[in-house]
Amino acid sequence: MCPTSPERNPADVNGKTYDYVIVGGCVLASRLSQDPLVSVLLHEKGRVQDSITSRILLTSQNLGMGEGLQVQDTRWTETMPGANGRQNQLYGGESIGGGSRIIAMFWTRGSPADFASWVEMGSYDWSWDKSELYFRKLESAVAHPKARFRGHDGDHSFLISFPFQWNSFLEKAARKVGLPIDKDCNDPDAPVMGYFHLNVATSSRGERVSEITAILKQGLAIQRQDRLTVCTGVVASRLEVDSRGSLVTGVELIKELPAVGATFSDHYSFLIMLELPKKRRCIFWNPLGVVVKAREADGTGNLDASNSRNTREVEIMLMPINTLGRGAPGHCVFSFYPTLVQPHGKDRIEISSRDPLAHPRITYPMNKPGILKEYEKMARTDCDGGRMGTLALTTTGIEAAPEKMHVEVKPSKNKSWRDVTDDEIDNYVRRVAHISLHYSCTCPMSNDDKTGVVDRRLLVHGFKNLRIADASVCPKIMSGHTMAPVMMVAARCADFIKEMWQLDISDDLDP
């Protein structure tokens, strides 16, 4: 540990009392410690380790580096019947800053339709109008300096993607299939479907912007040491709330909430790759997203982003890298990455042992069989994503990566992407689809403690002073990347807490 680091060990805080105790949460710790009259303890499992490796764009998202980036890479799902009995590896960031230290840095707020669907499910405090303000407070939209709907004074800066020669080919492909072109995927008035340039959380120096570099900087943590204590190397040893897993393992409960872990959801992806001609090769990272399909595909009416029926279902990410997870020496490839962003199946996460270090049992909801109607929807959406990616390939005039690469990049060895059937695409997805690191909905918001874990102000049912503020509280998974929504949820949680303590102070002052 560096002598100037604000990190403390568990022994340093043992026996002390604090006004607020946070388990993993830079945004919440930063917001609550703004008040010099309160004391805040932030518990984190990992260390800071703010190294050059963790700031470089490519190395910082190399999940294979393991301990070097404090990547949790030893968790696996149970076997997935809908994915040919495969298991998927579940990665997580365990350094301070969590997933923002290792994910692909895409800054997407989500569509107003996402928040409209939350309101329809009973989360009335989470409409787009009430949530947008918090996105603005977080943002410093360097890439959109004059945009009226973007924030310009926040801590979190991001740029538009680097220029890349393939942009012109991809935009041409999008126009040919009738997709609108939009330069900002976070414009609330943008159409639901279209070809979008994504914002990336990078600084003007080309370094990763994470919660530890933007929200809870070392200088800020040192400045607030009198009221903010950052304790690292912490492992939980007591369980407060859970459901079925606790009953099976014999862990004593304070409150049973059956919805804990019972509605686990995540996006999942599969890949389509092509090999670039030498004259088109480039090393720049240039993420773009093509949202190709909304739920209600019934003409131009499905472009309205405020209608909850128009939630996005498929996103195709376009990335000039090999996304196989293993090398293809001698080949320069480009990836089309169809992703199901409104999965129709849900499954569960539950504790597996009384040992606090044991991994939970994770049943992953990929191609979940058993509910025929839902499975048919999922298979149809997968095929739509595959065919849209195929059409984009065809329009660019470049064929899919050749078989000589010795990798599975096509659904059939004897056919091209142009003539495969829906069944062949479905079988291909079962073979190669994998997780997208957007784990959500395991402690969802609901007014009913039978179907939810927290209320609309993020208080855990049955507790006066316990809240949850991360992707687990989403009543329905976002149809985009989850970094920005999670930070928004944490910022709102801080205000809920501040409002509560103002009420407590008022009560104390009453005669």
Question: Torsion angle, CA of 209/213/216/218, rounded to 10 degrees?
Answer: 180
What are the helix (H) ranges across 231-273? 244-249
Q: Which two tokens stand for residue 169?
A: 């080919």
Residue 119 to residue 475: CA distance in whole angstroms: 10
Distance of CA 321 to the CA centre of its chain: 20
DSSP string spanning 175-204? HHTT--EES-TT-TTS-SSEEEEPEE-B-T
Cβ neighbours around 137 below 10 Å, total: 17
**How far is residue 266's CA from residue 472's CA, in Å, rounded to a whole number?**
11
Cite the active site residues. Answer: 438, 481
Do residues 91 and 73 make contact, with C-beta atoms less than 8 angstroms apart? yes
16-24, Cβ contacts within 8 angstroms, sequence gap of 24 or more: 16/41, 18/229, 20/497, 23/234, 23/236, 24/98, 24/470
The distance in angstroms from the start CA to the end CA of the chain is 50
Distances in whole angstroms, Cα of residue 25 to Cα of each of 34, 35, 97, 185, 325: 15, 17, 7, 26, 30
Contact 376, 389 (CB under 8 A): no
